[in-house]
A and B are shown apart, each in its own frame.
Chain A
Amino acid sequence: MKATAHDFKNAASKALKDDNLRQALHRVETGFAGNRAAAISRLPEFHDLRDEGVAIKMHVLDHLDYYLERFEQKVIETGGQVHWCTTPKEARDTILELCRSVDAKTCTKGKSMIAEEIALNPFLEENGVLPIETDLGEYIIQLADEPPSHIIGPAVHKTKDQISDLFFEHHQKYGKTERQSDGRMLVNEAREILRQKYIDADVGITGANFLIAETGSTVIVTNEGNGDLTQSLPKMHIVIASLEKVIPTMEDASTILRLLARSATGQEFSVYTTFSTGPRRDDDLDGPGSFHVVLLDNGRSKLAGSEDRELLRCIRCGACMNHCPVYHAVGGHAYGWVYPGPIGAALDPHFIGIEEARHLPNASTFCGRCEDVCPMRIPLPSILRRWRERAFESNVTPPAERFGVGAWAWLAKHPAFYRVGTRLAVRGLSLLGGRRKRIAKLPLAGGWTATRDLPAPAGQTFQDQWRRQRGRSA
Chain B
Amino acid sequence: MADSPVNVGLFVTCLVDLFRPSVGFATVKLLEDAGCIVHVPDTQTCCGQPAYNSGSRNDAKDLGRNVIAAFQDFDYVVAPSGSCAAMIREHYPRLFADDPAMADKAKRVADKTFELTSFLADVRKVTSVGAKFNAVAAYHDSCSGLRELGVREQPRYLLASVEGLEVKDLEKGDACCGFGGTFCVKYPEISDEMVTRKTSDITATGADTVLAGDLGCLMNIAGKLKRDGSNIAVRHVAEVLAGDDGTPPIAGGER
* B-binding residues in A (CB < 8 A): 9, 12-13, 16, 325-326, 329-330, 362-369, 371-372, 382, 385, 387-393, 397, 401-402, 404-406, 408-409, 411-413, 415, 418-419, 422, 425-426, 429, 437-438, 440, 445-448, 450-455, 457-458, 460-463, 465-467, 474
Question: By the criterion CB–CB under 8 Å, are A461 and B143 in contact?
Answer: no
Q: How far apart are B188's CB and chain A's nearest CB, in angstroms?
A: 3
Given the known A-B contacts A367-B180, A409-B63, are A463 and B188 also in contact in the complex, defined by CB atoms under 8 Å?
no
Q: How far apart are B58's CB and chain A's nearest CB, in angstroms?
A: 9
Question: By the criterion CB–CB under 8 Å, are A367 and B147 in contact?
Answer: yes
In the complex the two chains form, what is the Cα distance from A364 to B190 in whole Å? 10
In the complex the two chains form, what is the Cα distance from A387 to B57 in whole Å? 12
* Of B37-45, B161-169, B202-210, the one with at least 4 CB within 8 A of chain A: B37-45
Judged by a CB distance under 8 angstroms, whether B113 is at the interface is no
Instruction: Point out the residues of chain B lying under 8 angstroms from A387, CB to CB.
Output: 55
* A-binding residues in B (CB < 8 A): 12, 14, 16-25, 28, 39-46, 48, 50-57, 59, 62-63, 66, 94, 143-144, 147-148, 174-176, 178-195, 197, 219-220, 222-224, 226-227, 248, 250-251
Given the known A-B contacts A363-B187, A365-B143, A458-B22, are A452 and B56 also in contact in the complex, defined by CB atoms under 8 Å?
no
Q: Which of B21, B50, B52, B223 sits near A465, CB closer than 8 Å?
A: B21
Instruction: Point out the residues of chain B lying under 8 angstroms from A393, CB to CB.
Output: 55
What are 23 A-B interface contacts by the 8 Å CB criterion?
A: A12-B189, A16-B193, A325-B178, A369-B147, A369-B174, A369-B176, A388-B55, A389-B56, A397-B54, A404-B182, A408-B46, A412-B46, A412-B48, A422-B18, A438-B251, A447-B185, A457-B18, A457-B19, A458-B19, A458-B22, A463-B17, A465-B21, A465-B24
Given the known A-B contacts A413-B62, A474-B41, are A453 and B21 also in contact in the complex, defined by CB atoms under 8 Å?
no
Interface of A (DSSP majority class): helix
Instruction: Point out the residues of chain B lying under 8 angstroms from A461, CB to CB.
Output: 17-18, 21
Q: Which of A9, A401, A462, A466 sits near B187, CB closer than 8 Å?
A: A9
Given the known A-B contacts A368-B148, A389-B57, are A329 and B143 also in contact in the complex, defined by CB atoms under 8 Å?
no
In the complex the two chains form, what is the Cα distance from A448 to B192 in whole Å? 8
Question: By the criterion CB–CB under 8 Å, are B45 and A453 in contact?
Answer: no
Q: How far apart are B163's CB and chain A's nearest CB, in angstroms?
A: 27
Question: By the criterion CB–CB under 8 Å, are B21 and A405 in contact?
Answer: no
Instruction: Point out the residues of chain A lying under 8 angstroms from B53, CB to CB.
Output: 366, 385, 388
Question: By the criterion CB–CB under 8 Å, are B194 and A325 in contact?
Answer: yes
Question: By the criterion CB–CB under 8 Å, are B188 and A447 in contact?
Answer: yes
Question: By the criterion CB–CB under 8 Å, are A451 and B188 in contact?
Answer: yes
Q: Which of A409, A452, A462 sits near B24, CB closer than 8 Å?
A: A462
Question: By the criterion CB–CB under 8 Å, are A425 and B18 in contact?
Answer: yes
Question: By the criterion CB–CB under 8 Å, are A409 and B51 in contact?
Answer: yes
In the complex the two chains form, what is the Cα distance from A438 to B224 in whole Å? 11
Instruction: Point out the residues of chain B lying under 8 angstroms from A385, CB to CB.
Output: 52-53, 55
In the complex the two chains form, what is the Cα distance from A452 to B251 in whole Å? 12
Given the known A-B contacts A405-B56, A409-B63, are A451 and B176 also in contact in the complex, defined by CB atoms under 8 Å?
no
Question: By the criterion CB–CB under 8 Å, are A392 and B44 in contact?
Answer: no
Q: How far apart are A308's CB and chain B's nearest CB, in angstroms?
A: 15
Instruction: Point out the residues of chain B lying under 8 angstroms from A406, CB to CB.
Output: 56, 59
Given the known A-B contacts A12-B187, A409-B62, are A453 and B195 also in contact in the complex, defined by CB atoms under 8 Å?
no
In the complex the two chains form, what is the Cα distance from A393 to B59 in whole Å? 12
In the complex the two chains form, what is the Cα distance from A451 to B192 in whole Å? 7
Question: By the criterion CB–CB under 8 Å, are B55 and A463 in contact?
Answer: no
Q: Which of B42, B52, B180, B220 sits near A415, CB closer than 8 Å?
A: B42
Question: By the criterion CB–CB under 8 Å, are B56 and A362 in contact?
Answer: no
In the complex the two chains form, what is the Cα distance from A369 to B175 in whole Å? 8
